[in-house]
Amino acid sequence: MGLSDAATVQAVATLRDAATIRERGGHIADAVAAGDSEHFTLDTSRLPLVADRVAALARQRFPRGRIPYHSRWRHFEAGGVNRAAELEVALAGRSEAERARARIDLAIVSVLLDAGAGADWRYAEAASGQSFTRSEGLAVASFRGFVTGRFSADPGEPCRVDADALVALDGGALAEMFQVRPDNPLVGLDGRVALLRRLGAALNEQATQFGTPARPGQLFDLLTRGGARSVEAAQILRALLDAFSAIWPSGQQFDGTPVGDAWRHPLAGGWGPSAGWVPFHKLSQWLTYSLLEPFEWAGVTVGGLDALTGLPEYRNGGLLLDAGVIVPRDAGFAARRYTPADPWVIEWRALTVALLDRVAPLVRERLGVSAQQMPLACVLEAGTWLAGRQIAAERRAGGGPPVQIESDGTVF
């Protein structure tokens, strides 16, 4: 039997609240620490070693101490190329609001295309003469597609993303953009096409909010109505979840309402109708982090950055597994294949959220900075994700993650 409309609305709001991510992850971490998990134990004595590794990377990568946010804009800098500056040249003469919309358009479509690429794919960028793999390659490819109008239905306005272009997107066009060939295969191409088409459909269904033509960049206008010059990070996340939760292919629903990257787990705890569910919203949080700069560049202050959490994906989570902080009870876990819905994976991701909150102050202590000077968004870039990639390369040929997960690309 379904819940009342009011109860469903309240439960969905709770699952879309950034605070619930941290709260439910903490419940699971507490249960694991108490020995109540059949999947994991913890060795928190190894957290200082993780912090040492992250701090060493931060000093190496940012010797002047100015650490930027963990965002898609870092990937647009791959190979030492300032592509953001190139975009500004293309947007010259546009209003501040229009430049913000274009940056948000780019960030959203690029993040949605940022699923695992596979070990055999690479992108050759003609403009720089360089080749890129993994997330950096996907970012550069999507940037080049954006500035040449691949996501715009108006040839006279190439630097935008609009619903008409998205719903008309086909696999051949995306394959050409990503240079996919038999000798350069890209994992999950069809899934990427389907996701962008669903984004286009969602924009068209909400045209009163996202304009004509409907564009994801209209999020800027939604969050700065009345001339607002400040916004909270959690507001950006909530706006993304309210607008786009239906596009995720995981099919997770609460009483018929799509909730995206949120899952049932017996140790999640909580109160009310949403009890027993743990949300992560990994891709939406990654997207939120990637929208901080477009808002700030337009003169809008973004507050409450640490209301967001660490990203529960395979690099951050892999770091904690490979470093021996999260200890699987099953010694043969690496030989198994999991799905995002498996309790093992949900628990691992919850532990990642909780433990990144413990790593962050240790990293700040080693670097001699405060939480205000180095919010979690900067700790991630400093970088927990790169430490996860680094330790994976040390442990396994090819640098693959420690866990095999069958995913649609929108969770990991």
Cα gap 313→144, rounded to integer Å: 26
Q: Are 216 and 199 in contact (CB under 8 A)?
A: yes
Question: Are 68 and 74 in contact, with CB atoms under 8 Å apart?
Answer: yes
pLDDT the model gives residue 151: 98
Read off the tokens for 169. Answer: 């997107």
Closest CA to 11 of 284, 264, 205: 264
One pLDDT digit (tens) per residue for the chain, 412 residues = 467 789 999 999 999 999 999 999 999 999 999 999 999 999 999 999 999 999 999 999 999 989 999 999 999 999 999 999 999 999 999 999 999 999 999 999 999 998 778 889 999 999 999 999 999 999 999 999 999 999 999 999 999 999 999 999 999 999 999 999 999 999 889 989 999 999 999 999 999 999 999 999 999 999 999 899 999 999 999 999 999 999 988 778 999 999 999 999 999 999 999 999 999 999 999 999 999 999 999 999 999 999 999 999 999 999 999 999 999 999 999 999 999 999 999 999 999 999 999 999 999 999 999 999 999 999 999 999 999 999 999 999 989 899 999 877 677 6
- Single-letter residue type at 31: A
**pTM of the entire predicted model:** 0.95
CA–centroid distance for 153 within its chain: 27
Q: Find where tokens 């609240």 sit.
A: 17
- Between the CA of residue 136 and those of 124, 185, 248, 402, what are the distances in Å? 11, 16, 23, 21
Residue-wise DSSP of 352-410:
HHHHHHHHHHHHHHHHT--TTTS-HHHHIIIIIHHHHHHHHHHHSGGG--SSEE---SS
Joined together, the tokens standing for residue 344 give 């093992």
Using CA atoms, how far apart are residues 315 and 335, in angstroms rounded to an integer?
A: 18
Place of tokens 């550069």: 140
Q: Which of 268, 266, 316, 263 is nearest to 289 (CA)?
A: 316
76 to 84, 94, 96, 138: CA distances (angstroms): 7, 21, 21, 10
In this structure, what are the phi and psi dihedrals at residue 161, rounded to the nearest 5 degrees? Answer: -120, 125
Q: How far is CA 48 from CA 10, 62, 279, 324, 385, in A?
A: 39, 20, 28, 12, 16
* Displacement of CA 77 from its chain's centroid (Å): 17
The pairing of strands 277-279 and 262-264 is antiparallel
Burial of 130 (0-12, 13-18, 19+ CB in 10 A): middle
> Does an H or E element contain 327, and which?
strand 326-328
* Separation CA 371–CA 366 (nearest Å): 12
Residue 103 amino acid letter: R
Q: What is the pLDDT of residue 315?
A: 93
Q: What is the amino acid identity at position 97? A: A
230-232 vs 301-303, strand pairing mode: parallel
- How confident is the model at residue 409, as a pLDDT? 67
Q: Give the C-alpha separation, 107 to 83, whole Å.
A: 13
